[in-house]
Amino acid sequence: MTPIQKIITVSALTSGILVAGGYKIPEQSLNSMALGAAYVAHTTDADTAYFNPANMSFLDSGLSYIESGITLAHLPENTFAGVQYLSGIGGVPASGNSETENLPIPYFHYVAPAIGKWRYGVSMVAPAGLTKRWESPVQKTFAEEFTLQNVELNPVVSYKVNEKFSVGGGLRLVYSMGKVYSDGSDLGVPYKREMEGDTLALGYNLALAWRPTSDIAVGVTYRSNIDLDEEGEANLYLGKVGQQYSASVSVPIPAALNIGVSKTWDDRVTVEFVYERTFWSSYENLDFEYASAIQPGLVGSFDDPKAKDWVDTNTYRLGVTYILNDRLTLMGGYAYDETPVPVKTLSYELPDSDAQIFSGGFKYQQTNEISWGMAILYDKKESRTLALGENENGIVGKFTDGGAILATVGLSYRF
């Protein structure tokens, strides 16, 4: 195998797993979308089951709570201007744009009436996912298409210790499915790849809620690391010769700690600050395994671990809720979100960068039992420049644009 074939082959195959650990969607309800996920201490609806199950103890004990809705995620194109360096070839012009994407993301939350000091709930959410496609020749060689879908079922319980303190927790059952295509023919490389895989994985979440006074709330949640042991088939083509392999690889959805504090004035205005720590450093490398021995010429490209070295990140969130009257509630939020991807391992599959997040929305109480609302969030990515020698994947240039626009419509019912 030539040097250029080795570089393209290993980069293209590993791209199918990158976003599983690097792209999260924390906003999984109307309130959380409008508040930019500054929604841990002061949770008030059925989505409490997901964002802080300990707070279920402080909802009206005799009521059931249901919320369902859908989010449309619009992913604008990423723009790259620069050069791709390939071993044995040198610099190749690599400027191009990714395709825009529109992804529907449904969600569901339920909280049951209290049974003594106990209460249970359940959520169905999509906590991570991405579709990224490139048609420009260089990027298409590494990541013609990547689609990842995750669905999480999260049953939870809470226990009311006293009128000021509650604890909660539950299980995280995650189903993950991915599809990856790459094609080097437009770059003059006789290479093509098709790969699909899926997995079912289990984790847990813990929560506490403390209300020292009637106007102050404190919430802490922890979501465990989940290893996605993806298993599937990889069809690898070099020239006109193709061969299928059963392949597997383990990739983490990292643990996350959220600490929120809220303050309410006159039962109308609530301000909440949330600090989020995501432990991306669990994503150290990719190490593929196969059910049978692969061709000797492919061992160096496909069987050797590939370092990722992602880093733990901080996210700072601020949300404001204003009850305008008995019918209408207004919400807004801001967040600063750090990227876990270091310059040295940045790739076309996830050209990530730090982001500023702006959000807003409203909720309308239609009847005593039914409310509905809409929210929108704008994730503005900072541009990122890679100088010569900084990136192990040979990328030199500047990434701009990208980010996301999320719009949510939700309906709640209490009975």
Structural domain span for residue 126: 3-414
The model's pLDDT over 263-291, given as tens digits with 9 standing for 90+, comes to: 999 999 999 999 999 999 998 887 777 77
Is the pLDDT confidence value at 374 over 70?
yes
Greater confidence, 351 or 369? 369
pLDDT at 350: 83
For residues 110 and 122, give the distance between their C-alpha atoms in angstroms, rounded to a whole number.
5
User: Which residue did the predictor score with more confidence, 140 or 184?
Assistant: 140
Taking the C-alpha atoms of residue 305 and residue 114, their distance in angstroms, rounded to an integer, is: 50
In the predicted structure, residue 231 carries a pLDDT above the cut 60: yes
Record the pTM. Answer: 0.89
pLDDT at 337: 95
Q: Does the pLDDT value for residue 225 go beyond 50? A: yes
DSSP code of 1? -
Using CB atoms within 10 Å of the CB of residue 299, give its burial: 0 to 12 exposed, 13 to 18 middle, 19+ buried. Answer: exposed
pLDDT the model gives residue 24: 65
Domain containing residue 263: CATH number: 2.40.160.60
Please count the structural domains in the chain: 1
Whether the predicted pLDDT of 376 surpasses 90:
yes
What is the Cα–Cα distance from 97 to 104, expressed in whole angstroms?
Answer: 22
Instruction: Say whether pLDDT at 3 is over 50.
Output: no
Residue 13, token pair as written in the block:
């195959």
Looking at residues 83-96, what average pLDDT do you find? 88
From CA 269, how far away is CA 287, in angstroms rounded? Answer: 50
Q: What integer pLDDT is reported at residue 2 of this predicted model?
A: 35
Pick 197 or 1 by higher pLDDT. Answer: 197
Digit-coded pLDDT (tens) for 146-185: 777 789 999 999 999 999 999 999 999 999 887 777 787 7
Instruction: Return the beta strands (E) in 162-268 as ranges.
Output: 165-183, 191-213, 216-223, 226-238, 241-253, 256-265
pLDDT band at 5 (very low <50, low <70, confident <90, very high): very low
Over residues 101-133, the pLDDT tens digits come to 888 889 999 999 999 999 999 999 987 666 778
Characterize the bridge pairing of strands 216-223 and 191-213: antiparallel
Above pLDDT 90, what percent of the chain? 62
Cα atoms found within 13 Å of the Cα of residue 174, Cβ hemisphere only: 27
**pLDDT tens digit string along 246-257?**
877 777 888 999
- Is the distance from CB of 370 to CB of 337 less than 8 angstroms? no
Which residues, including other chains, have CB under 8 Å from residue 414's CB and lie 6 or more apart?
A: 60, 63, 64, 65, 66, 368, 369
